[in-house]
Amino acid sequence: MAGIGTAQAYTYPRPSGLAGDVLGLSTSGGTTTAGPRDHPYFFSGLLTRAAPAAAALLALADVAQTRYHRPRPTAFRDPVVTCNGDRLRLESFSACCGVYARLDVLEQALDGEVHERGTTNVDVNGPLREALARVGGDDPLHLAVGAEELAVTTLDGAVVEKKVPLPERWLRGFAEVQVITSGFDPRAELGAAEAVRFVRGLPGARSPGTLWAVPAGRGLRVAARPVPGAVCLPGPGRLRTMLPLLRFARALRAYGPAVRAGNGPVASAWELELPGMRYVLVLSPEPHRGFSGEGAVLDALATDEAADDAELVGALLSFEPRVEPDLIAERAGLGLARTRAALTQLGTAGRVGYDTAEAGFFHRELPYDAERVLAMNPRLRNARTLVDEGRVTFTGPDVAAVDTGGRPWQVRFAGGSPDGTASCTCPWWVDHRGGRGPCKHVLAARIVRDAAKESAR
Amino acid sequence: MSAPVLEMLLKQLDGGNLRMVAALAPRLTDAERRRLGEDLPGLLRDVQDRQPGFSWSWSMERHKWAFMAAGAGGIGGAAAAAAWLTRRDLRVPSSDGEPAHALRVVAAAAGRPAAWRAEVARRLAGRLAVADQADPHGNAAAWRICALLSADAGAGPPDDDAFAVGWANWTDPEELAGDPFLGAMLPRLFEIEIIGRVLGGTYQGRPWIDALTALARAGGIDRTALLDGCLRRLLRGGDLADLRWYVRLHEALAVTPEEAAERLRDYLRLLPAAPAGVAELALTEVRRADRLGALDGAAFAEAAEALLFRPEKKLVRAALIWLGGSARERSRVDATLAALPVAFGCEAHALQERAVEVAVKHAAEAGEKARQAVREAAAALPADLRAWVAAAFGDVEAPEPAAPVVLAPPPPPALLPGPISSIAELAEQFAVLERTDPSWQDVERVLAGIVEFGYRDPDGVRAALGPFVEDESDIWNQPVDFGWYFAAWPAVWPKLAARAIVEPDAPFPRVDRVTGSFHAPLRRFLLLRMREIAALAGRVPVVLGTPTSSTGHIDPDELVSRMERVEAAGADPGPFDLQQALLRLPREAGADAAARARRLASPAGRELADRLAGGPVPDPAVECVLLQGARSAGDAGSGLVATVTPRGEVPDPVAPLFAFPWGSSWQSHSEGEHPQAAPEIHWWPAMLPSHTETAAAHLLPHLAPLVEADHEQGAALLGLAEADGPAGAAAGAALAYGLTVKSARQRAGAVDALLHMAARGRLPAAELGAAVGTLTEHRIAKPARVTGALAEAAGAGADAQVWTAVAAALPVIFAAIAEQKIKPPAGLPDLIALGTRTAEATGARDGVPGLAETVGRGGSSRLVKEAARLYAHLTRW
């Protein structure tokens, strides 16, 4: 896969760190309501709950630095911060791409001035970790995300340049998580004492495979099999970064898709409510699976239907903390259904995120060239190649043979429904059976079928 | 005139003479140097061609060094030289001679400008990898050359992390005093994450600690820099393995109370979230500072609350000792009482009790506000402690009785996917079997599909499945050990069946033997049925024994319909398949099916009709037996097994299932063949879905060797839980094995099974408890694991069942202790505490034999304390 990695260079005017009692988070290039900025200046003011905020930032940094599957030391990766006006959201992935972490610092925990809304990266480094670990007790903590243009330009010498090889899978992960979590529903809510008991009682880091959390008494119990209402707990060791936050915890909420007995592993979201903040971890269905390969965006990407609407809707977003589909629908002059489809399409490009706590989308613009990366989705690219080379032959109304040299793979559309699930006989499909989205053969067959329908019309 | 220098050098290079190459290289003319640089890759290739083992053979080490020296002396560009020196095929293992050799390589570059040498060093540092430099077998030579070049060129040390890691790994701490990089590298020791592991790697890091502290004493380095460095690193966090060396160094620095007081804030911030070993260090220093009176009210409150919230009992206990011992002396009784409620929230009764003890001790000196806070917090304590607090602080309001937790109804059995509906789907499912570890449901479903379509449309199946079986035909022609085959590859049966359709004339493999069939008659039965289905594929219209429910049961109406199809086709069903189908009938079959079955005419049809009219095979007598081939825990020759004795008539093919062990007794076999853990035990309960206890008896010999293994025990027990029919001693013993399994996942499966049986009102709780007792007595069960699992079950609403089990387990364990067969096992006090909790919750008062005697042993051990608490509850009227 040579050439897939993108060296993403960040330039920070200075390192992040604690100067006096001001925690300065340095920003690199990003997008704001006023367009692209080299070093956007989002917020300055007081973090009213300093200790939990510092601990949660450390937890986020820990996730970014950990490779949960086959652990080995990795360098820091800088979180993405979005200022939505009334709140700051910091997002990151684990180095293995199987855990998504977000810290939402809400209005109640912020007391200061919002200078701009937008998205950028913030610098995380060793001395910053040390400074964050020193925050505690009732010490007040001033926070600045970015700095005034003047202050930035008058500083000399201390510029930080980081060149982090940023795999494209990291970027694809942002899109996948959004699509996957928007299908979640709340499944359980634990009070502080039960949350402490549950998280501390989870099996350790030597992850024992997929477990399930099922309601039991006033809390949750770890079970070996899914029942209706269960939340998947794939690699429970991946919730470990919540341990240092438990002392501030007010509640723990779990979100996931509906499951039934006999269900395979699925993703799940775990949200720890802290004073004025929420710390959210989303776990991929299995520790070895990164979100990037989950394939949840592929069906939407394979069709171009909503693309024009998405462009229109995208232009109307301005870093709202909550994107209200009906408001947008009115302003765009589109129906609600088309607006929702357009939002999904925007999500596939990582341009909106999904907040399970509020069951709503929020706007962000990733500080990466996301469109290009997503268009390069390897499975989709390979499917288009198969179509172009004419390797797909329909042998029946719902069965196609895809010839890739050896034994031809058979793609079957179940039940004959137009959007019905399709399956394949290729090894990749057999390994995941739809759990990671369609394989390239299914995608190719679908493209051929859709094209045939289009021309028939 | 002597020969040109280059010619001499090349000769020495060819002979691998490092010393001479290094001596000659600086004497090369510019033109010669250029030529050497250009020719080197070719020369290296020549040597490699001549010496096939060049890149790995240690005897070629001299040559590699010589080539490195030649590169340092001859290669023009700095980048190219750095690349040459780190070539994979010139990599040398670290050795005693390495520092001297590296010096010669650097000497070879003596003729090059200082700026060039500095640039090579800089680029070399960039090519070092952190992980490699941290490895004891890493590339020490490259680091050393880099270090020597830097020093030699008068440049400072490179600032790459990997260089600093290499410095820590390859520097001899005894020579630290004269190290040119010491000043620059010292702060780096406290910055780079992985260095703690490197420094702590040899003799627990002692040599480094001794060298650093000696230097600090001699004034060579600043002691406070070491101390502050330690603290900085500890604050940055990580696993204890990363931090342990810093904890040791910190200890060796012998911090004074004044120093501790100056750094109080840092120590305070380590208390809540640092690894336990680090938090213990911080507590020591906080207490040291406390003795100087350096803790103000806020600092004390922060420390106390952080410590009492820790999950480690040891730290909470240490904190309670500190709090209890210093409250009066430091005149902070009220502040202490304000912090104690955090510990009231502990899960362990012993810690709650400790906290109450501290509170009560200071009750008399407490202000009214503090007293009230304690009273309020005490509401959440267990009754005995609440009473204690009330005696010292005044009335404590009892908490609102929480709504009792009720057992969730058992979840309905998972739906089985319907029969395979097309040949295309059959091909797809066949592909799935080939690549995955299929469940019994998958294998049954595909076999049924092959038989169904193989009869209806053999040409279609041939076309679809031909590609799957053709390429592997030769493996079928050898005699087969079915036991082994099955274990390794359950997809073999659908493959054989498909082959019977695709190539009807091909020979069918001979059954040679079935491994381990003495202990696994169910496996033998399963394999014989599978083979039979494969052999009959294409000749019968349908498989009779395919389940219609995930419990393994078959809907009687469906079975009658299948039998009608068999009769209509004039086919003979296989005897094993027929018997499996009959075993899979529910215990209560509907009258409709029985009426329809009376119209069946074939012998098989009549057998079905008789079974539907007469009910299942009578439940055999099942009796648990303790095998004492015991050599060690988990030994297959020891543990609980069960003897199955038939009651009434049993058809031939299934006779060995209802008379187990077949034609023999456990005693005669306990010293003989030991059961191997059968990989397919989770398939078995669905083969006997109406005979739970019999299925459990078959599982037992296979659960014993799996106690420390992760092996689908949970799924097997869930199968038992979902089955029907009486459940007794064998099912209880099977669950007991499940609750003590090491794997957290399998144990969770056992808890699922326990709760499922409890919710259906068919949990043999007393038998389960008795088995836990017996297995503990024989050191097979670990009370700590069992207690955790039972506590989960109690939390989910099975209080009554858990109490029954604990009350049955304790007498056996107490008796074994009294007879001095075992010492009180770890975790026993917790098991008793769980008993107290569940007895309180259910209001149970039944007597526990041996409990009074345990209380009577006296002393202050936790065992006696917990026994006394349970005794007090059971005897309180």
Query: pLDDT at residue B777 above 60?
Result: yes
Share of chain A above pLDDT 70, in %: 87
Query: Which of the pair, B677 or B530, is modelled with greater confidence?
Result: B530
Query: pLDDT at residue A90 above 90?
Result: yes
Give the contacts of B128 (CB within 8 A, at least 6 positions apart): B86, B139, B142, B143, B146, B160, B162, B163, B166
- Shortest distance, CA B110 to any CA of chain A (angstroms): 35
How big is the CA angle at A130 (ends A125 and A136), to the nearest 5 degrees? 130
Enter the pTM of the model. Answer: 0.90
Highest mean pLDDT among B529-533, B557-561, B742-746: B557-561
- Shortest distance, CA B749 to any CA of chain A (angstroms): 5
Residue B110 exposed, middle or buried by CB count within 10 Å (0-12, 13-18, 19+): middle
Share of chain B above pLDDT 70, in %: 94
How big is the CA angle at B770 (ends B769 and B774), to the nearest 5 degrees? 120
- Interchain CB contact of A222 with B (< 8 Å): yes
For A56, other C-beta atoms within 10 Å of its C-beta total 28
Q: Which of B308-322, B349-363, B397-411, B577-591 has the lowest mean pLDDT?
A: B397-411
Q: Three-state secondary structure along B786-815?
A: HHHHHHHHHHCCCHHHHHHHHHHHHHHHHH
How big is the CA angle at B130 (ends B128 and B136), to the nearest 5 degrees? 95
Query: Which of the pair, B490 or B116, is modelled with greater confidence?
Result: B116
Query: pLDDT at residue A240 above 50?
Result: yes
Of B269, B413, B424, the CB nearest to A412: B424
Give the pLDDT score at A1: 31
Cα-Cα-Cα-Cα torsion A30, A34, A37, A39, nearest 10 degrees, comes to: -80
Q: Which of A144-158, B432-446, B598-612 has the lowest mean pLDDT?
A: A144-158
A&B contacts, CB < 8 Å:
138
The average pLDDT across A263-287 equals 95
Query: Which of the pair, B778 or B436, is modelled with greater confidence?
Result: B778
pLDDT-derived band at B342, boundaries 50, 70, 90: very high
- Interchain CB contact of A36 with B (< 8 Å): no
For A403-414, the pLDDT digits (tens) are 887 778 889 887
The average pLDDT across B598-622 equals 94
Q: Do A216 and B792 touch (CB under 8 A)?
A: yes
SS3 content of chain B, % helix, strand, coil (to 5): 65, 5, 35
- Search chain A and give the residue with CA nearest B342: A247
- Interchain CB contact of A372 with B (< 8 Å): no
What is the residue-averaged pLDDT of chain A? 84
Give the pLDDT score at B536: 92
For B643-683, the pLDDT digits (tens) are 999 998 898 889 999 998 877 777 665 544 555 667 788 99
Q: Which residues from B are below 8 Å from A214, CB to CB?
A: 408
The A residues from 179 to 198 touching B (CB cutoff 8 Å) are 193, 197
Query: Which of the pair, B155 or B353, is modelled with greater confidence?
Result: B353
Residue B126 exposed, middle or buried by CB count within 10 Å (0-12, 13-18, 19+): middle
Using alpha carbons, list the distances in angstroms from residue B81 to B38, B73, B120, B138: 12, 9, 7, 20
Q: Which of A331-340, B258-267, B535-544, B575-584 has the lowest mean pLDDT?
A: A331-340
Highest mean pLDDT among A55-59, A433-437, B198-202: A55-59
Query: pLDDT at residue A435 above 90?
Result: no
Q: Do A130 and B311 touch (CB under 8 A)?
A: no
Q: Do B751 and A209 touch (CB under 8 A)?
A: no
Tokens of B586: 């529910």
d(CA B546, CA B783): 41
The A residues from 242 to 261 touching B (CB cutoff 8 Å) are 243-244, 246-247, 260-261
Give the pLDDT score at B634: 43
Q: Which residues from B are below 8 Å from A216, CB to CB?
A: 405, 408, 792, 795-797
- Interchain CB contact of A209 with B (< 8 Å): yes
d(CA A366, CA A80): 8
Q: Which residues from A are below 8 Å from B412, CB to CB?
A: 261
For A21, other C-beta atoms within 10 Å of its C-beta total 12
In a mutational test of the A interface, the residue from B235, B346, B428, B469 whose CB has the highest number of chain A CBs within 10 Å is B428
Residue A457 exposed, middle or buried by CB count within 10 Å (0-12, 13-18, 19+): exposed
- Shortest distance, CA A89 to any CA of chain B (angstroms): 23
Give the pLDDT score at A28: 83
- Interchain CB contact of B194 with A (< 8 Å): yes
Question: What ipTM goes with this model?
Answer: 0.89
Give the pLDDT score at B290: 95
Give the pLDDT score at B250: 97
Query: Per DSSP, what are the bridge partners of residue A361?
Result: A323, A354
State phi, psi for B636 to the nearest 5 degrees.
Answer: -65, -20
The 8-class DSSP code of residue A30 comes to E
For B28-75, the pLDDT digits (tens) are 998 999 999 999 999 999 888 888 777 777 778 888 999 999 999 989
Ramachandran assignment for B155, one of left (phi > 0), alpha (psi -120 to 50 degrees), beta (any other): beta
- Search chain A and give the residue with CA nearest B467: A407
d(CA B585, CA B616): 8
Query: pLDDT at residue B231 above 70?
Result: yes
d(CA A245, CA A55): 7
State phi, psi for B431 to the nearest 5 degrees.
Answer: -65, -35
Of A73, A427, A430, the CB nearest to B193: A73
Q: Do A430 and B718 touch (CB under 8 A)?
A: no
Of B710, B714, B797, the CB nearest to A217: B797
- Interchain CB contact of B130 with A (< 8 Å): yes
Give the pLDDT score at B874: 94
- Search chain B and give the residue with CA nearest A54: B269
What Rg value do the Cα atoms of chain B yield, rounded? 38
- Search chain B and give the residue with CA nearest A222: B748
What is the residue-averaged pLDDT of chain B? 90
Query: pLDDT at residue A155 above 50?
Result: no
Of A55, A197, A261, the CB nearest to B414: A261
Query: pLDDT at residue B778 above 80?
Result: yes
d(CA B513, CA B523): 12
User: Do B209 and B249 meet the contact criterion of CB atoms below 8 Å apart?
Assistant: yes
Nearest residue to A102 (alpha-carbon basis) of A114, A87, A92: A92
How big is the CA angle at A98 (ends A95 and A102), to the nearest 5 degrees? 80
Query: pLDDT at residue B240 above 70?
Result: yes
- Shortest distance, CA A423 to any CA of chain B (angstroms): 8
Q: Do A430 and B411 touch (CB under 8 A)?
A: no
**Strands (DSSP E) along A247-380, which ranges?**
251-256, 268-274, 277-283, 352-355, 360-363
Using alpha carbons, list the distances in angstroms from residue B415 to A124, B418, B725: 49, 9, 21
Dihedral (CA of A307, A308, A311, A312) sign: negative
Give the pLDDT score at B199: 92
The average pLDDT across B435-454 equals 91
Share of chain A above pLDDT 90, in %: 30
Give the pLDDT score at B186: 94
pLDDT-derived band at B205, boundaries 50, 70, 90: confident
Query: pLDDT at residue B98 above 90?
Result: no
The 8-class DSSP code of residue B827 comes to T
Q: Which of A154-163, A438-447, B75-84, B542-551 has the lowest mean pLDDT?
A: A154-163
Give the contacts of B632 (CB within 8 A, at least 6 positions apart): none
Chain position carrying tokens 């008796």: B815
The A residues from 297 to 356 touching B (CB cutoff 8 Å) are none
Give the pLDDT score at B87: 92
- Shortest distance, CA B301 to any CA of chain A (angstroms): 9
Tokens of A220: 């949750």
Give the pLDDT score at B56: 72
Query: pLDDT at residue B217 above 60?
Result: yes
- Search chain B and give the residue with CA nearest A135: B269
Query: pLDDT at residue B638 above 80?
Result: no
Highest mean pLDDT among B14-18, B203-207, B608-612: B608-612
